[in-house]
Amino acid sequence: MLNFGALTGLLRRAPAYSALATLLRDGGEAGSADVIQAARAVVLSALAEDLPAPMLVVAPTVERARQLAEELAMWLGERAMLFPAPEPLPYERVPWSPATNGARMRVLSALAGLAGSQPVVVASVQSLLMPLPSPAALRRRTRILRPGTEQPLTRLAELLAANGYRHEPVTEVPGTYSRRGGILDVFPVSQDRPIRIDYFGDMIDTIRWFDPETQRSQEACPRAVLTPAAEAVAEVPAAGLADLDELDCSDCHAAAQTDLERDREDFSQGQLPRAFGLYLGYLYPESHSLLDYLSAEAVVMREEFEFADDAATAFWQDADLARERGESVGDIPRGLRAPLLPWEQLRDAIRERSVLELGVGAEPGPASLREAFLPVTRMAGQVRLAVDAVLEAAAAGGALVVSRQAARLAELVAERGVPVSAADEVREPVRGVQVVHGSYPEGWALRLPEVGTVTLFTDTEVFGYSRPARRRPRKRRVTEKFTIDVEPGDYVVHVEHGIGRYAGLRRLPRDGIEREYLEIEYAGGDRLYVPTYQSDRISRYVGASEAAPSLSGLSGADWQEAKARARRAVEDIAGELLELYLARGLAEGYTFAPDDTWQRELESAFPYEETEDQLRTLAQVKADMEAPRPMDRLIFGDVGYGKTEVALRAAFKAVTDGKQVAVLVPTTVLAQQHYETFRGRLSAFPVTIEMLSRLRSEGDQARVLERLERGEVDIVVGTHRLVQKDVAFKDLGLVIIDEEQRFGVRHKEHLKRLRQQVDVLTMTATPIPRTLNLALSGLRDMSTIDTPPEDRQPVWTQVSHWDDSLVERAIRRELARGGQVFLVHDRVLGIAGVANRVRRLVPEAVVDVGHGQLPEGKLSQVMERFSSGAVDVLVCTTIIESGLDIPNANTIIINHADRFGLAQLYQLRGRVGRGTARAYAYLLFSPGQGVTEVARQRLRAIMEASELGAGVQIAMRDLEIRGAGDVLGRRQSGHITAVGFDLYSRMLAQAVSQRQEEAGAAPTLEKDLLEAFLRPLSPGLQISLPLEAELPEDYIADAGLRLSLYRQLGALAGEEDVDEFAAELEERFGPPPPPVERLLYQTRVKVLAQHLGATAVGREEDQFYLRMDVSLLRAHDIQEELSGVARLGRGQIRIDASRTQDWQGLLLWALRVLVGIMEERRAARPTRVLRPDVRSRQEDTAMEAEGR
């Protein structure tokens, strides 16, 4: 966070501010401060520091409250808090988002004195209208926990359940908890990470934060505040429950009646329904507002309160309209109490408590700042004019420039012969020209006696940037494992036995010991029981079509033949791909220079914090460009994850080295957007950018073509028009292709030829399964961006038939919060009728139509009007599918959603939710028309894949539903069907690796990763040890979680992995009982035996056997290292355990010694491992010597 302390120091030197602060400190009423909007944050921040009390700022609208809270956070950090309004309209049966719940609980607990800070809260009129429980009720239901205090675990778990927390096997999301023995994991809704409470009896022993993704413990938490999961108290007063029973449901449709009955049942059992916002009028014996949470000394301020009446009236009207519509269509019962507080009562309370009005235009108060602040003129990217303004301001008192392009602006000022100070933070005094690297929303000028006027300039005034969103660094998401979850009833593939149906975990006795096995059903009713340590040899089946596969017979002959045919096929395709790859490696390309000053300036001007994935991908792209061979890199990234910024930086790197850049996109709409994005980001540099698409007239296109050929255009953005024969470049160096799969065959052939001559960077948001990514990464340079932007929320998704009232409510809700709506229709025919229907439903909305058949210029005009906010609802075709980024559009309605593919639905849904606001997607189908089973599966899958970064999940589900045949071409589909997509991908990766080795090409996949990926293809290992090794039900009760952990254990590759897994188990579930200790021991034996290439490890009386290829071992080595313990035989090693009680320690030691011998033989380097009894004696001797 940039330190703005010097600016508040400057403000305190203004007599008007000193008078205002003194007046407020003495308890006086200041009336109107009359401050321009750009300067309100600095005034409020200074007052927050000078008035040691909580502060509430009331803003007229939801959007303004969010903006002001973001600005205040730049000054005050976590003290600045937004009290958000719930996203659903009143009377809607829609749950509040976890983010909204959490933010509201953070504010309430801080104001109630539970968080130990003096918050500065910003609330909109709309958020204040929601009734709240009393502060006393909140305090009563909150627990503050510290280590060393007594708080019985069972009682605390009961309180969590009563407070709305859900019990889950694993605590991963806010509002959940899990209990395992003496460990309680809780994710408080008011925190951004969960806590782990470890008990000793009824005493809290330790409290630690932990990572919800890895489940690993982190640093200690000295004090934990457990608020309710939601502000609504689940204990409805008896009178309220009786009133709910009396509601008139006679006009409700069947689904609404079912919902109401379920909600009544939840209330009667002391549980809170998910859509509790519908019943706010019944939840509290006495309704309270946010004002009731303020202490006596708290300060209340209001901004532009003259607009508050209109905002409150409009919101009440929307609520009444929603109620009338809901009642008329039977969505809600008649007579529901209003879930809002009367505005008149709130307004009077705000006026009574408030001491300051911030708006402009009201009658100035006794300590007005009207004369202190002045607005700053915007230069809209005219940098020379901006420098002139900065120099004028410096002469008038002082100029402070806060910019992401600080060094470049400092250079321009210095070129005028004016001294300039460049720094990383604001310093006093602000004299002359001071340039600071950073960002701030908007500038202002402050008049000071004896100093003159000090002017703050920002990128808004200089370059015309929009307000930058605040973004904190975010740790990288944990990427998907190789396999996806398996549930009973799923088809699975066993490497040795073929396709079966998973039936669940079963306990069976063997050799007098009960263990858990994975039960798989095969043809003819046969059953296979797979030991849990072999669970890595099983994967979920995905074929080349949606048809269910035939079960294999356990005899195995047909399965072995299917595998052989698939192996021959992957060897052929690997050879073809490798040939192309090697040919590209021999081609001569242009070697770009390393980054220069301008490149660094551009990158520092990015108004967000880059994710780790973006930085890694950018480094890979630059390394490719600076290498002598032509780049051919593919970037995978989920919708809205920052691929375009990487491409833009690569383009700028090429331009600064004198090369031209072509940016090729599939649609005219996306071309226009990329054109605007590149122009905006590069406006501070002498870069010429043009566009070629049908949105330009023929004359304009001809002029662009001429300038391209003369080298006067640096970057050209275009559609397939760019690959036509009349397009010629003077010196093309880089081609960027967005969504190449959407171009035709002829265009792809042209692009294939380009790859032999220039650097090519391809981007796609079409998700690819991780298994195929790994299989192909040996043949093509790939980068993946899978970290979501900070504050991004999942899109709330609903599947339903088309219903006019639903469509109307969805549009009205979005318009009520100042947003815009996409309505996607599946074809041009009939789209005008859909638009007219929307106009009838919502007459006040501005509706327009966009599709690819509109006349030249018309589509561009429509999209420009929608982007600027002049259009409320855009009724369009899938022309918006790729890359379109309009942050203010946060509702999408997809008509005939059953006619779209799953990946297409995912891309369309990705057009919304690209900012911090909650987004809504409605997938609608025609009422009364049958929906196919495949379409039903698609709609169910898109509903389930609601989490951020669900692209890989969607890729696998799409393969399951439509089949994997399209991924590698129809020629391969039969082999994919025969062996399943997962096994096919591993076989392909193995073939690629072998071909690379044969050709002498350097492997492009990390050795450890490749080995782990290919391990299931090696011969299976049989372990026969007299051990009861398992995860007992009384340690981990959930069968699905046990299977998941068995599969993780089965995939471990080394002893250090087992150590890490053991530590994770203990942290999550408590000290492992003996069966788990034995399971971990068995896993150590397994990973060591696999390093030796063993096929079996077992015990026969007093001897262990290890079956393996012994050709790499010599009897001499065995005799020297394992004298008297082991002997070498034909295809096996025998280990004598007759002379020890600790056979487990002996076996582990012998395996480690053998691994050491094997590695020594392979690498010709000495390594020795001491026997347990020898090691302990030598350690004792060493300690004695040290003591002497």
Q: Which residues contact 541 (CB under 8 A, 6 or more apart)?
A: 490, 491, 492, 493, 499, 549, 980, 981, 982
135 neighbors 292 (Cβ within 8 angstroms): yes
CA dist 222 and 581 (Å) reads 56
Does 213 score more than 90 pLDDT? no
Tell me the pLDDT tens digit for each residue of 1071-1110: 889 999 999 999 999 999 988 889 999 998 888 899 988 8
The secondary structure of residue 132, as a DSSP letter, is: B
User: How many degrees, rounded to 5, is the angle at CA 773 between CA 771 and CA 775?
Assistant: 70
Does 618 score more than 90 pLDDT? yes
Does 1178 score more than 50 pLDDT? no
pLDDT confidence of residue 424: 72
pLDDT confidence of residue 1177: 37
Burial (CB count <10 Å: 0-12, 13-18, 19+), residue 182: middle
The most confident of 202-216, 297-311, 822-836, 1171-1185, by mean pLDDT: 822-836
Q: Give the three-state DSSP class for 144.
A: strand
Q: Which residues contact 751 (CB under 8 A, 6 or more apart)?
A: 664, 723, 735, 737, 740, 743, 760
CA 852 to chain centre: 32
CA 185 to chain centre: 23
From the list 711, 714, 708, the residue with the least C-alpha distance to 678 is 714
Does 467 score more than 50 pLDDT? no
pLDDT confidence of residue 1165: 47
1163 vs 375 pLDDT, higher one: 375
**Residue 749 — very low, low, confident or very high, per pLDDT cuts 50/70/90?**
low
Tell me the pLDDT tens digit for each residue of 1049-1074: 888 888 888 988 888 888 788 788 99
Burial (CB count <10 Å: 0-12, 13-18, 19+), residue 1186: exposed
What separation, in Å, do the N-terminal and C-terminal C-alpha atoms of the chain show? Answer: 56
Tell me the pLDDT tens digit for each residue of 338-351: 999 999 989 888 88
Does 885 score more than 90 pLDDT? no
The most confident of 192-196, 409-413, 483-487, by mean pLDDT: 192-196
pLDDT confidence of residue 891: 94
pLDDT confidence of residue 967: 45
Does 57 score more than 70 pLDDT? yes
Burial (CB count <10 Å: 0-12, 13-18, 19+), residue 51: middle
| Mean pLDDT of all residues in 1160-1166 | 63
CA dist 429 and 439 (Å) reads 20
pLDDT confidence of residue 775: 53
Backbone φ and ψ of 326, nearest 5°: -60, -40
Does 964 score more than 90 pLDDT? no
What's the predicted TM-score (pTM) here?
A: 0.66
Domains and CATH numbers, the chain: 5-136+274-357 (3.40.50.300), 143-226 (3.30.2060.10), 375-462 (no CATH), 587-785 (3.40.50.300), 796-963 (3.40.50.300), 1039-1183 (3.90.1150.50)
CA distances from 699 to 692, 696, 709 (A): 11, 8, 16
887-896 burial string, b = 16+ CB within 10 Å, else e?
bbbbbbbbbb
Mean pLDDT over the full length of the chain:
82
| Mean pLDDT of all residues in 74-97 | 87
694 vs 950 pLDDT, higher one: 694
Q: How large is the C-alpha radius of gyration of the chain?
A: 34
The fraction of the chain above a pLDDT of 90, given in percent, is: 24
**Residue 1179 — very low, low, confident or very high, per pLDDT cuts 50/70/90?**
very low
**Residue 443 — very low, low, confident or very high, per pLDDT cuts 50/70/90?**
very high
pLDDT confidence of residue 733: 93
Does 8 score more than 90 pLDDT? no
1037 neighbors 1043 (Cβ within 8 angstroms): no
User: How many degrees, rounded to 5, is the angle at CA 163 between CA 157 and CA 164?
Assistant: 100
Does 585 score more than 90 pLDDT? no
Tell me the pLDDT tens digit for each residue of 301-336: 988 888 888 889 988 988 888 888 788 878 889 888
| Mean pLDDT of all residues in 23-43 | 86
The fraction of the chain above a pLDDT of 70, given in percent, is: 84
From the list 350, 340, 448, 454, the residue with the least C-alpha distance to 392 is 454
Tell me the pLDDT tens digit for each residue of 983-1011: 877 888 778 777 777 776 666 555 665 66
Q: Give the three-state DSSP class for 660.
A: strand
| Mean pLDDT of all residues in 2-30 | 83
CA dist 1112 and 1110 (Å) reads 5
Backbone φ and ψ of 956, nearest 5°: -70, -40
pLDDT confidence of residue 748: 58
**Residue 1180 — very low, low, confident or very high, per pLDDT cuts 50/70/90?**
very low
